Copies of this chain bind each other. A is one copy, B any other.
Amino acid sequence: MIRRYDFGIPFPTEAVVLDLTPNPEPLPHFTKKGTKLNFFLKLERDTVVYGLGESNRGLNKRGYLYESFCSDTSTHTPDIFSMYGAHNFLLISGKNTFGVFIDCPEKITFDIGYSDYDDLKISGESTDYTIYIIEEDNLRSIIRSFRTLIGESYIPPKWGFGYQQSRWGYSKESEFYDIADQYQNLDIPLESIYMDIDYMEAYKDFTVDPSRFPNFKTMVSDLRSRGIRLVPIIDAGVKIEEGYSVYEEGVEHGYFCEDETGKPFVAAVWPGRVHFPDFINPAARKWFGEKYKILTDCGIDGFWNDMNEPAIFYSEEGLEETFSYLDSIRDTNIGIKESFGMREAIENLSNNPKDYDRFYHNHNGERIVHRKLHNLYGYMMTRAASEGLHSIQEDKRFLLFSRASYIGMHRYGGIWTGDNSSWWEHLLLNIKMMPSLNMCGFLYSGADLGGFGCDTTYDLMIRWLQFGLFTPLMRNHSAISTREQELYQFSSTGYFSKLLKFRYRLLPYLYSEFIKAVKCHEMFFLPLSFEYEHDSLSRSVEDQLLIGESLMSAPVYTQNAAGRYVYLPESMLMVKFDSRLERTCEILEKGHHFIDLSLEEFVLFIKRNKFLMLAPEANNTDSLDCTSFEIIGYSDKTDVLSYDFYDDDGISSKVDLSSMLQVQISKKDSVWKLSNQIPQIKITKIDIMEASVY
């Protein structure tokens, strides 16, 4: 049951797709104080609080404070309150279990046992918002119900599940060819190469620098013929430059956010001074979205939208304040106060909340200050792109994901989890964040594998890829000036080749489970506690994830570990892969286990009476054969195991579960065999392990 409660005059965020009638009764569960957003709930000692999508810390959000305020956070230390997304959904699992979604585009603070370990406080300045309370029989059905409310998640093309290579700094044609050559010469799979900001001419959106990319269209098609796609970045800010058509059209039609005086607001990002398109304005959205055609006409069919919190390096006003402070101290005996003051003055230049009070959106002729709609900006930029791409070619799926987001945007694109670092801690954060994102509708997602900031190491790269094997977006991305981490940069590359080929072996299963999760409003990554809700130990397991209906992943995420502990809420089949990706299988009983896993070893688990379909190895989706499978499974008491397998051409926008195939493996005369006729599928090997105790 979903109940809607309106407060004030909520802004139409279009986060939800169901038009529910507001409930006139007081909001249940919470105590409300004052007129502003201010809700209180007492937590029992063992209450677990899930949710908040892209946010810091654990799967259980208990014990810290989180701010929903889309932020360009360049360093994801454990103390940060905000990240790029604003996903105001909580799932409270205690004596009372329910979901709560606060549809409000302004900043909201979630104090979840931070000020007081036993108190939950939700607060903000807004007086206009909608709250949805979702109550169902169990955790999974609450999520299903919530996801029905917010509508079906974005589906990428199948090639979006391939292995992708990125780095901030690729800046000329020859580099892209070189990356393709290096991967292909070493027989390491590669699906796409990303174009970060340096492909543009002076960081101008929808331009390609002609001196560094003299034959862009040819390059796109050359690489495409080798199975590799290019994915350019699009930034939110439009450079102020006479003669640059995007700038001039935006000014002419009033498509940019305005300052207090009605002039286009000036902020600065990569190119220096820019204007921000007013994505709240549908006309501006349409205009900007159609610009993507400039690149799709060159053969591009995937994009990533960046800096759309929006990130601001400085505003004119901020710059003036900073320099004026520096002038005031430069000739003094700069001591403790001024030393910190200088540092703060520079730090406060960028992403300063004061700047979000300095520009305005046009909503049907009404002027609304940005701060009040802040969390919608990246969402509406990506919606612009999605609708633009749909208008360019409506029967085709484009790859599209964003940095900033809000619930609702999940219908238009995925997200990557932003500028993490090459820290083992961020591999663990990646693991913990995935199910939280899924709860909020963000299914197409992944972290920068190997880490974006700081210098990665060989062992971290390996362990991160061993988890990245399972994330829908599997992209290796790093920052300029950090250690290069394309897989051919390491002295030993053979293992990477084998590991990525295994990604393609898994891909049909991952794709099938992904599409089913989208269509059935299920999670792709599921915490143990959602499946084994009455197993109390499962509630504190945050480093093992169920993936679709058959798998559990238990990655190693600590440096120099000789293995890891795994908790099994029920008996499962352990499948351990060695450095040659050869496997050994063992049935493990319910309970605690320590699994030896040297650096080049990883493990996955198959649930009882489930199986996994593995395709033949491949180096990209072009050459992936999704019709021929090897089967690994675990049977307990059942003689027939079945799996609903979804597949399609991977590119057309029509995605329909009615074409799903049921694969049935049954045991006859002590041998497991394919029991039904599936003309499209060939099973090359069946390896079902049986529990010895019946």
| A residues adjacent to B (C-beta < 8 A) | 45, 48, 57-58, 60, 62-65, 75, 77-79, 113-114, 116-117, 197, 203, 268, 270-273, 313-314, 319, 323, 326, 330, 332-336, 338-339, 342-343, 346-347, 349-350, 421-425, 453-455, 457-460, 491-492, 536-537, 539-540, 542, 559-563, 565, 567, 592-594, 598-599
Contact = CB atoms under 8 A, between A and B. Distances in A.
Contacts of A422: 79
Contacts of A117: 457-459, 491-492
Contact of A423 (B48, B62, B79, B203): B79
B313 A339 contact: yes
Nearest to A198: B336
A565 B592 contact: yes
Question: Chain B CB within 10 Å — which of A79, A113, A338, A536 has the most?
Answer: A79
A78 B425 contact: yes
A336 B458 CA distance: 30
Contact of A63 (B323, B454, B457): B457
Given A203-B335, A343-B346, 17 more contacts: A58-B560, A62-B560, A63-B459, A63-B460, A64-B457, A79-B423, A116-B491, A117-B457, A197-B336, A268-B333, A268-B334, A271-B336, A313-B339, A346-B346, A540-B562, A540-B563, A565-B565
Given A116-B491, A268-B339, A326-B326, A77 B333 contact: no
Residue of A78, A594, A599 with most chain B CB atoms under a 10 A cut-off: A78
A65 B425 CA distance: 17
A491 B42 CA distance: 14
A114 B457 contact: yes
Contacts of A273: 333
A334 B332 CA distance: 27
A594 B568 CA distance: 13
Contacts of A116: 458, 491
A203 to B, nearest CB: 7
B336 A270 contact: yes
Would you list the 3 A-B pairs with minimal beta carbon distance, nearest first? A272-B335, A272-B333, A540-B562
Contacts of A64: 457, 559
A333 B274 CA distance: 10
A78 B424 contact: yes
Contacts of A197: 336
A595 B594 CA distance: 14
Identical copies in the complex: 2
A460 B113 CA distance: 12
Given A272-B333, A594-B592, A339 B326 contact: no
Contacts of A338: 272
A458 B115 CA distance: 8
B271 A335 contact: yes
A270 B271 CA distance: 38
Nearest to A492: B117
Contact of A313 (B79, B330, B334): B334
A336 to B, nearest CB: 5
A57 B323 contact: no
A334 B319 contact: yes
A342 B342 CA distance: 11
Nearest to A344: B346
B79 A77 contact: no
A212 to B, nearest CB: 16
A540 B338 CA distance: 46
Nearest to A116: B491
A45 B197 CA distance: 39
B421 A63 contact: no
Given A64-B559, A459-B63, A540-B560, A79 B335 contact: no
Contacts of A48: 560
A314 B329 CA distance: 14
Contacts of A79: 421-423, 453-455
A334 B346 contact: no
Nearest to A559: B63
Nearest to A347: B343
A492 B117 CA distance: 10
Nearest to A481: B340
29 contacts: A48-B560, A58-B560, A60-B559, A63-B457, A63-B458, A63-B460, A63-B559, A63-B560, A64-B457, A64-B559, A78-B424, A79-B421, A79-B455, A114-B455, A197-B336, A268-B335, A272-B332, A272-B334, A272-B335, A273-B333, A313-B339, A314-B334, A314-B339, A319-B334, A323-B326, A326-B326, A339-B350, A342-B346, A536-B562
Contacts of A339: 268, 313-314, 350
Nearest to A118: B491
Contacts of A592: 565, 592-594
A592 to B, nearest CB: 5
Nearest to A331: B323
A158 B658 CA distance: 76
